[in-house]
Chains A and B, each alone.
Chain A
Amino acid sequence: MQSQIKQTLNAIILTEDLGKAVVTSEGTLHILSSIDLIINPGESIAIIGESGSGKSTLISLLAGLDTPSSGSIKLKGKSLTEMNEDGRAALRNELIGFVFQSFQLLQGLTALENVMLPLELRGDKNAKAVATALLNRVGLGQRLSHTPKQLSGGEQQRVALARAFATKPAILFADEPTGNLDSKTGETIINLLFELNRENQTTLILVTHDPILAARCQRTIRIDAGRIV
């Protein structure tokens, strides 16, 4: 009991009875129900489950990209569910990094500018130096001024990784980051992800289909039809 309370106080992500339902033409669709999660700082968690089981929905709720229909979420003790959109935006900028399956780089910006983006949004004066260093770190030091169109998928995802770590986030969400890449490139990206994660002591929430990849995480959460099993 005592340890559980302590754990709860320490938790970086804490959800209680989290649920998400959407109203469709065929009635209410319960995408997620009764999700209770306690995730500690520095933990790495794999979320696995079939396609359509609700994984993306779960992490988008955890990251405050979407609002739950029921239940509550606390990030670092702050209640996400009680914040308005701008509050959540500020919290995202402070705490969270993202890596998406489809990279989501801004097409018109160069690699460097893409990585600088979250830093500039928080008014970081050193944005350029930090971003350059990170791009060097992911092996793209020579490609700073290239736009996404001039980069391969793997390279784009590396830019996305650099962008995700630029703000030194406490939590990194990665939604099938290798889904659009071939297995070899995927592996490089994953290695890089884990390295950066270790260096930055980031809490990692990784969505994946891949059991081998899941095994590299400290804990695995399996979702089926919107519930943790």
Chain B
Amino acid sequence: MSRFNLALRLLWRDSRSGELTILILALIIAVTSSTAIALFSDRLQRTMVNQAAEFLAADLVIDCSTSIAADWLTKATQFGLLQAQTVEFPSVLIEHDELLLSAIKAVSEHYPLRGLLKATRTEDYMSETTLHAGPERGSAWVEKRILSALKLKIGDSLIVGEKPLTISHVLTYEPDKKANFYSFSPRVMINEADLAATHSIQPGSHAHYFFQFSGEPQAILDFKQWLKPQLNPSQHLLDIHEDRPELGAALLRAERYLGLSSILVILISGVAIAMATRRYTERHFNATALLRCLGCQQQEILWLYSSQFVVLGALASALGCVLGWFAQEVLFQLLKDLLPQQLVSPSFGAVLFGFTIGIVVLLAFAMPPLLRLKQVSPLRVLRRDLEPLPASAWLVYSLSIGVIGLLIWRYTADIKMTTTILGVGLSVLLMLWLLTYGLLKLLRKWLPSMNLTWRFALQSLLRNTSTTISQILAFGLTLAAMTLSFTVRTDLIDNWQQQLPDNAPNHFALNIFPEQQAAYQSDLQQHAIKGSQFYPVVRGRLVEINHLPVQQFVSKDSQGENATHRELSLTWTKELPEENKIVAGTWWSHEQAANFVSIEKKLAESLKIKLGDLLSFTIGSQPVNATVSSIRELRWDTMKPNFYMIFSPGTLDAYPSVYITSFYLPDTQKDLLNSLVKKYPSTTILEVDLILKQVKTLLMQLTQAINYLLYFALMAGFTVLFAAVYATLDNRIYEGALMRTFGANRSFLRTTQWLEFGMLGFISGVFAVIVSEATTFFLYTHWMAMDYHFSLWIVITIPLIGALFVGAAGFLGVRQVLNKPPLRVLREL
């Protein structure tokens, strides 16, 4: 106990004398930023998942063609889940001698469990209100197109099946509207209580039941796990990641970006802590030698200091948590207008995470230098120059790698991935270590031929090669983390913007007969509507690969399995469609014979199809063979018709085909749809504009959130960089003072300081570019499913930014000392 008191007293003295300032600062920054980011990303993530859950109107949905066992619902209640049901079916409406195929949706109480409905009671869109529940008994909400097509207005009666209902609202937004084949026809939403009276649902009729659940994430997960084994093939579980791939991918990437940022900020802070502790340690050699002289044993020394650090860590972490909480709150305030209205409250778990991270990072990064104190020889009391061995590199790296590995594992939940990242990271570090070492050696050779200022600046760096290398590694890592944060965010946003440009097609037209195609195209052109190419479609099934049944090639749940269990849309075209890229083989030239096929890359990989393989299809009952002449890469997330299989022109001429196209129709020209539907009654129009709007809103919110997160990471990075530079200044201040006693003037010292730190920053910047580009490449190709682009801009700017900031930090740190009388400097050290 008395030893603990001694520890506390020493801690108190040290903190009073300013010895601990930098360490405390680094720690607070670390904890503040990691808490803020943990809180922010946790909260944002949950908010976004909630937001995304809106697209299902629930957290979990069972989609099936009949009702489900009653005990499933009981079980859901036991798990504490809230429930709702919707039934969707097509029905023909007849009013005023007009006929219209509509999509009826009967909704139960509690629908929608997530998200809101929007509707108006008048026919203009101005008076739109948000509503928490669907139509009351006896009334129907309809999409505007129903009113115009059937010559109805609000308040009129509408007969659904056999049940007359009153139209009370125009439905303008439905959270779980899907781009499946039900949504081509306009919606009529009714109350579930009226369903029976419509007599529309008979055994064998084409109805879809959606059983919707919402609740605590854990309860949802438990229920899902309980449910999964009991589902039969006609029952599907929908959740946001599985059901809405275009959103799922965006969310997944955003989540991964948030995770990545957390790791990076923690890494940055760890570096600062390591450097600050190193300084602290070096400043305590004398005191430790004295304690040893006075009879303290090595273990006691270790205990004395580590208990101080634990106390320090706990205090700084607690403060950091509070600050982090505020920072996160401020961040959300800033983002208020962009984020969904209903924010999830911050979780205590994330605060605890921040706190734990603080302690763990402190111990992992501070322990190795601290352990040196144990080795301080009591003889140092007499011989000041006796220094303990430097911290064991093995210990330093294995501890920090352990922590980083743990964090990566936490975010990827994938051991193989974690070990690969660590392995790659380590090899890169080792390589760079050697490279830096070589570079310094080379510089030493050039040294004699340089002028005085440069020579002095360089000599400072070369004087202690191992310190310089570890500084370059530290600054380089910090800069790399910042660069990475920046590049990934920029590419992510670019990627999203490419995915959905402003006039991305928002309508699909299907089932256009060949004889209608020309007229349809000219109708679109007449109204200046931009559309994609018209593609002929023949439905067919892939049955054999090189005369072997395709079932032999598929693995369960793969893309291949999906594609071989149903009919594919087969098309042909002379020119390679936009946004398709040949990755193997060649696109056909005009004179090439028929019976070639170009296959999409992912499907080819899944089915192990290579160039030159012979694929056999059945169309109707007819067999068709084609040789694979090219493999294409394409983007599924653009709103354009995309095809797994494109045949060479002529191959499919013998089979009946219909055309498909997509086009962009602005809100203002929406009326055109009715005339198109009227003129070409057999065609189907798929309206995806609402869905697109949802996706765009979500992506915009994610973009903003990620931007703020980036600013935060950058701020933390720069602060830490400054703190870290300060932590390395002692020796330079001392040397500067000594040089001044020999008559070096301040401008000389100033220039050499700038040069020295500038060079340090520059080399670190080069280092950072290599690390971050390698990491980006790895992340994109293995983790985020994005294309890697080499950026010359980054390669040029980062070393300059490094030189500027490290240079400035070093300069500022030494500047104050330049103006003090040199004696005072010598005395203070």
Contacts and interface: CB of A to CB of B under 8 A. Distances in A.
Interface of A: 60, 63, 65-67, 85-86, 89-94, 96, 98, 102, 104, 106-109, 113, 117-118, 120-123, 148-149, 153, 156, 167
Nearest to A57: B823
B331 interface: no
B741 A65 contact: yes
A149 B742 CA distance: 22
A177 B744 CA distance: 23
B743 A90 contact: yes
B463 interface: yes
Contact of A89 (B459, B738, B746, B826): B746
Nearest to B747: A86
Given A65-B826, A66-B824, 10 more contacts: A89-B744, A89-B746, A93-B742, A93-B744, A104-B826, A107-B385, A109-B459, A120-B455, A121-B744, A149-B385
Contacts of A65: 741, 821-823, 826
- The 4 closest A-B CB pairs, nearest first, are A93-B743, A108-B463, A65-B823, A118-B742
Interface of B: 383-385, 452, 455-456, 459-460, 462-464, 731, 735, 738-748, 818-819, 821-824, 826
Contacts of A94: 743
Given A67-B821, A85-B746, A102 B384 contact: yes
Nearest to A163: B742
Contacts of B740: 85, 89, 92
Contacts of A96: 743
A86 B747 CA distance: 8
A89 B824 contact: no
Nearest to A63: B741
B463 A92 contact: no
A113 B742 CA distance: 14
Contacts of B743: 89-94, 96, 118, 121-122
B747 A106 contact: no
Contact of A106 (B462, B463, B824): B463
Contacts of A156: 385
12 contacts: A65-B741, A65-B823, A67-B821, A86-B745, A86-B746, A89-B746, A92-B740, A98-B742, A107-B731, A108-B462, A117-B739, A121-B748
B384 A120 contact: no
Contacts of A107: 385, 463-464, 731
Contacts of B818: 85
Given A102-B384, A149-B385, A108 B464 contact: yes
Contact of A153 (B383, B745, B822): B383
Contacts of B822: 65-66
A24 to B, nearest CB: 14
Majority secondary structure of chain B interface residues (helix, strand, loop or mixed): helix
A66 B823 contact: yes
B466 to A, nearest CB: 11
A141 B364 CA distance: 46
Contacts of A67: 821
Contacts of B745: 86, 89-90
A86 to B, nearest CB: 4
Contacts of B824: 66
Contacts of A121: 739, 742-744, 748
A209 to B, nearest CB: 18
Nearest to B742: A118
A86 B743 CA distance: 8
Contacts of A91: 743
Nearest to B460: A108
B829 to A, nearest CB: 10
A94 B745 CA distance: 12
Contact of A85 (B455, B459, B819): B819
Contacts of B738: 104, 106
Contacts of B821: 65-67, 85
A110 B396 CA distance: 29
Nearest to B383: A153
A104 B829 CA distance: 12
Contacts of B826: 65, 104
A111 to B, nearest CB: 14
Contact of B742 (A60, A92, A102, A109): A92
Taking each of A63, A85, A113, A153, which has the highest tally of chain B beta carbons within 10 Å of its own beta carbon?
A: A85
A117 B742 contact: yes
B741 A106 contact: no
A108 B818 CA distance: 21
B452 A120 contact: yes
A117 B742 CA distance: 8
A109 to B, nearest CB: 6
A67 to B, nearest CB: 6
Nearest to A108: B463
Residue among A63, A96, A107, A122 with most chain B CB within 10 A: A107
B747 to A, nearest CB: 7
B467 to A, nearest CB: 9
Nearest to B462: A108
Nearest to A85: B746
A14 B201 CA distance: 115
B760 to A, nearest CB: 15
A148 B385 CA distance: 9
Contacts of A148: 385
Contacts of A104: 738, 826
A45 B200 CA distance: 118
A153 B380 CA distance: 13
Contacts of B741: 63, 65, 92, 98
B17 to A, nearest CB: 13
Nearest to B461: A108
Nearest to B819: A85
A86 B822 CA distance: 11
Contacts of A90: 743, 745
A215 B754 CA distance: 48
A92 B740 CA distance: 8
Nearest to B452: A120
Nearest to A122: B743
A90 to B, nearest CB: 6
Centre residue among A65, A94, A113, A167 by max chain B CB count within 10 A = A65
A9 B152 CA distance: 116
A92 B460 CA distance: 22
Contacts of A92: 740-743
